[in-house]
Amino acid sequence: MGSTVVLTVRVRRELKERAKQLGINIREVVKRALEEAIEEKEMEMLKKMAGELKELLSGVSAEEVVRLIREDRDAS
C-alpha cells in the first residue's frame, strides 16, 4: 500500500448514527465508492480516447498497419 492521506467528509449526524447502528464501516464504504468512481471515470475516458483513435485510423487499412509495424520492427 502506498502513502495515504486523511479525508474529512461532512454527513448528517443521523446518517452516521444509523451507519453505526447497522455496523457499517464508513471508511470502507467511502474508500470503495471512491475507487469505483475513479474506475468508472477512467473507463469513460478510455472509451472516448478509443473512439477518437478509431476516427483517426478509419482511413488506414489493416495491411498498411501491418506494413508499418514490420518496417518499424526491421529498422530496430
pLDDT confidence of 45, banded at 50, 70, 90?
very high
For residue 60, pLDDT beyond 90: no
Distance CA 9, CA 29 (A): 12
CB 39 within 8 A of CB 32: no
Cell (9 digits) for 27: 471508511
For residue 37, pLDDT beyond 90: yes
Distance CA 36, CA 33 (A): 5
Mean pLDDT of all residues in 25-50: 97
For residue 50, the surrounding DSSP H or E stretch is: helix 26-57
Mean pLDDT of the chain: 94
pLDDT confidence of 42, banded at 50, 70, 90?
very high
**SS3 call for 60:** coil
